[in-house]
Structure 1
Amino acid sequence: MTLVVGAGMHPWGKWGRPFVEYGVAAARRALADAGLLWTDVQFVVGADTIRNGYPGFVAGSSFAQALGWSGARFASCYAACASGAHAIEIARTRILAGLCDVALVIGADSTPKGFFKPVGGDRHDDPDWLRFRLLGASNPAYFALYARRRMALYGSTAQDFAAVKVKNARAGSLNPNARYRKTVTAEEVLASPMVADPLRLMDICATSDGGAAVVLASESFARRRGLSGVRIAAVSTVGPTFPNTVLEMPNFATDSSAAVPPPERAFRSSIASAAYEEAGVGPGDLSLAEVYDLSTALELDWYEDIGLCEPGEAAEMLRSGETALGGKVPVNPSGGLASFGEAIPAQAIAQVCELTWQLRGAAGARQVEGARLGLAVNQGLFGHGSAIITVV
């Protein structure tokens, strides 16, 4: 068994400082939260950032050096928007293998102004580059295609999307680590500038600086040291199933998808299903969920993908208040990316920080009453995805 015994964050914003500074601050807070010293850590995993030069590509080493070389082993990993969850999986696996007792997982980012663009110059074999250059599909346009698909299939409206932002902004206003801490009205969302029809500026998450870290420990170590924690019951990092071969754009046919039937489950659904199976639980057991709300419309898709409701029923579930604070299964009680923005290597770790605080009963004004089991899900480019389940 692996426990999260410490969680810490550097608040999100646009601070303009090196990413390592955010990661070190988050790590020190996580260690203090666990009541452990840096020298207690035997293994460090850094989630990589690809926009911050060579130190970002070797984040584990960068963080270990900044904290002070201690002889601890370290590793670095990149899995797009699921990088932090994959870093947690690496650390958890080492603990479960009996190769270490205490691991520190850190993710941090310092982001450019505006929306993300491909990294590394002109690369004609890079589907991300091709998406931008050949289709003109920047990230907001990509999100908008999913939103239009939802409107066409299920009749979702701009008002439904605005209601997601209103819900998440309320939760974010209660979170001291969130970048945006102001409540908004649906009218304000619908009056914000159109970016990629039907999504307006307030429908789309920003890019942000920030950091997050968790301390993981074996059950035996925690017992010896008298540490309490929440248990990681499952980590799913499953990839897509053939013929889902085009991962960067929705609803574009390929030779394989035209020739054979689609897989039984869509990719995002399969990520969550694998986690449920590993943990021996189901959607009905969830106390809360942190989902990857790149856009307001995408949050509604996640409701269905993680099994909270049937396809097409997400907007009704939202309107009922079930996914708001005080509802049956609050979704993004942290405020989500709507309130934080994207700090890519940190965001999956930040979700686990939120699950940890919620399950401890330490989330303050945004506390989910009686929280016992939480789910965090992400999806990144090139088949990367993750789902993490924590329990008390």
Structure 2
Amino acid sequence: MTAGDIAVLGAGMHPWGKWGHSFVRYGTVAARAALADAGVDWRRVRSVIGADTVRGGYPGYVAGATFARALGWQGARITSVYAACASGAQAIGAARAQILAGLADVVLVVGADAAPKGFFAPAGGDRPDDPDWLRFRLLGATNPAYFALYARRRMALHGETPDDYALVKVKNAAAGALNPHARYRKAVSAGEVAASPVVADPLRLLDICATSDGAAALVLSSLEFARRHGAADPVRIRAVSTIGPVYPRTVIDLPDIATDSALAVDPSPHSFRASIAREAYDEAGVGPEDLSLAEVYDLSTALELEWYEDLGLCGPGEGAKLIRDGTTALGGRIPVNVSGGLASFGEAVPAQAIAQVCELTWQLRGTAGERQVPGARTGIAANQGLFGHGSAVVAVR
């Protein structure tokens, strides 16, 4: 199924880091950069979609209106979207739906965050019906502990070692050193990864991404508007997958368990992340063999290896072989995280999925400079957020 292409006219970012300013300032900088890149006057934008940041207080919950106000009210349609780490991709999906429905021919999508230092804590008060809140609060399992369980499972099933995970950081740091928007622009060695402090065994500090301030924005349009605007061959978004997992509900609403129709649902034979990717491939009419590059959500080094398998870049248990062989490095057969990934950026939650598509845009345009993937024509961006949120975006040229 192909729902329809839309054009990426402009991409812009505010560099990641710890700058001490409001998320609104970062998002405004990124939005203006995207508008300038597109050559589109702000007054021509007919819809603004903001990816929410719940740590930004009320302005963060209504990010679409917050950014429209900062840029200057001009009558555009306003939308605000929250989906944790998938917020940016769901914002892109909402923009695409509006464009294909004819509700707006030019849409600005913005995500920005001013993240606190340290591990993310649950935001918005107690959420006893949220399994991620339960993991945080009842088990004491913050994200690094969660990542470490993935790593230990992979080590037990596939024979991976911490040395394999260190190679992911080495690869991504080398790419990030070439990216002017990255927070960390310094190559690291496997020895430096091994010498960094243990955070959650077997993962060390350099195996885990930081939290950051940052922003990213896109100007999206219909193909007809792009042609009228003089963009005869723009980068196109061909698929946006934001499906939830398929799994029976066996814990919530226990008194109704005997009649709960959800119990009749068979679990998916694929992992949640693999299902997200398959949906995107099906919608775009492409497969893993068609990819020139991928941007994936490397919250930890071990999770990047799992993404290789979920995206179909290799078979189950073969992720470590790809990193050992240099297959996913710049110059390899299928480069992954040529932006530097979260290893080089850190988490600025609402901006992350948008930043991934910015990187795909620059790569498919051939304007990524020293980190350019030669002849890039098709790319996928993928991530997973809290409580069943996830996304994959396919871009082509």
| CA displacement 1:160-194 (0-9 Å, x = unmatched) | 00000000000000000000000000000000000
1:231 to 236, 241, 245: 236
The answer as to whether partners of 2:292 and 2:379 remain within 8 angstroms in 1 is: yes
The question of 1:85 aligning with 2:106 is answered no
Deviation at 1:258, TM superposition (A): 11
Residue 331 of structure 2: aligned partner: 326
- For residues 393 and 136 of structure 2, the distance between their equivalents in structure 1, rounded to whole angstroms, comes to 31
Matching of residue 198 in structure 1 with residue 202 in structure 2? yes
**Distance (Å, rounded) in 2 between the aligned partners of 1:245 and 1:109:** 35
Give the partner amino acid of 2:296.
V
Structure-2 separation of matches of 1:59 and 1:280: 33
Of 40, 43, 47, the residue aligned with 1:43 is 47
CA distance in 2, matches of 1:232, 1:292: 19
- The 5-angstrom pairing of residues 301-340 of structure 1 reads 301-340=306-345
Return the offset for 1:259.
Answer: 9.6
Q: Does 1:288 align with 2:293?
A: yes
- Cα deviation, 1:300-322, whole Å, max 9, x if unaligned, reads 00000000000000101111111
Q: Matches of 1:161 and 1:336 in 2, distance apart? A: 14
1:338-349 equivalent positions in 2, closer than 5 A: 338-349=343-354
| Bigger mean CA offset, 283-292 vs 133-142 | 133-142
Pick from 349, 353, 361: which aligns with 1:356? 361
The residue identity in structure 2 corresponding to 1:137 is A
Q: Note closer, same or farther for the CA distance 1:281–1:187 as it changes in structure 2 (3 Å cut).
A: same
Q: How does 1:85-124 map to 2 (within 5 A)?
A: 85-124=89-128
The whole-number CA distance in structure 1 between the counterparts of 2:184 and 2:57 is: 28
| Alignment partner of 1:175 is 2:179 | yes
- The residue number in structure 1 matching 2:169 is 165
Runs of at least 4 residues of structure 1 off by over 4 A? 255-261
Alignment partner for residue 15 of structure 2, among 1, 11, 15?
Answer: 11
Within 1, Cα distance between the matches of 2:68 and 2:97? 20
Shift of 1:225: 1.4
**Per the alignment, do residues 8 and 372 of structure 1 end up closer, same or farther by CA in structure 2, a change over 3 Å counting?**
same
Cα displacement (A) at 1:265: 1.4
- 1:187 matched to 2:191? The reply is yes
| Distance verdict in 2 for CA 1:259–1:198, change over 3 Å | farther
Q: Which residue of 2 aligns with 1:365?
A: 370
Match of 1:153 in 2: 157
Matched, 1:380 2:379: no
Residue 297 of structure 1 pairs with residue 267 of structure 2: no
TM-score by length of 1: 0.95
Q: Choose the corresponding residue for 1:60, options 54, 60, 64.
A: 64
SS in 1 for 2:314: coil
Alignment of 1:251-266 (within 5 A): 262-266=267-271
Task: Tell me, yes or no, if the aligned pair for 1:359 and 1:391 is still in contact at 8 Å.
Answer: yes
Give the partner amino acid of 2:18.
K
Instruction: Give the conservation status (yes or no) of the 8 Å contact 2:15–2:215.
Output: yes
Q: Which runs of 5+ in 1 are unaligned?
A: 247-254
- The percent identity for this pair of structures is 73
Letter in 2 for 1:232: I
Q: Secondary structure at the match of 1:142?
A: helix
C-alpha distance in structure 2 between counterparts of 1:190 and 1:235, whole Å? 37
Q: Aligned-pair RMSD on alpha carbons?
A: 1.7
Paired residues of 2:8 and 2:361 also in contact (CA < 8 A): yes
Whether 2:126 is the aligned partner of 1:126: answer no
The 1:256/1:95 distance shift into structure 2, 3 A limit, reads closer
- 2:257 alignment counterpart: none
In 2, the alpha carbon distance for the partners of 1:245 and 1:268 equals 21
**Residue pair 1:34, 1:215 contacting (<8 A) in 2 also:** yes
Secondary structure of the residue aligned to 1:315 is helix
CA distance in 1, matches of 2:126, 2:237: 40
Partner Cα separation in structure 1 for residue 72 and residue 266 of structure 2: 54
Write the distance in 2 (CA, Å) between the matches of 1:257 and 1:201. 40
Unaligned runs of 5+ in 2: 252-259
- Contact 1:243-1:263 at 8 Å conserved across structures: no
**More displaced 10-residue stretch of structure 1: 211-220 or 222-231:** 222-231
The amino acid across from 2:305 in the alignment is L
Query: How far apart are 1:257 and its partner, in Å?
Result: 11
SS in 2 for 1:52: helix
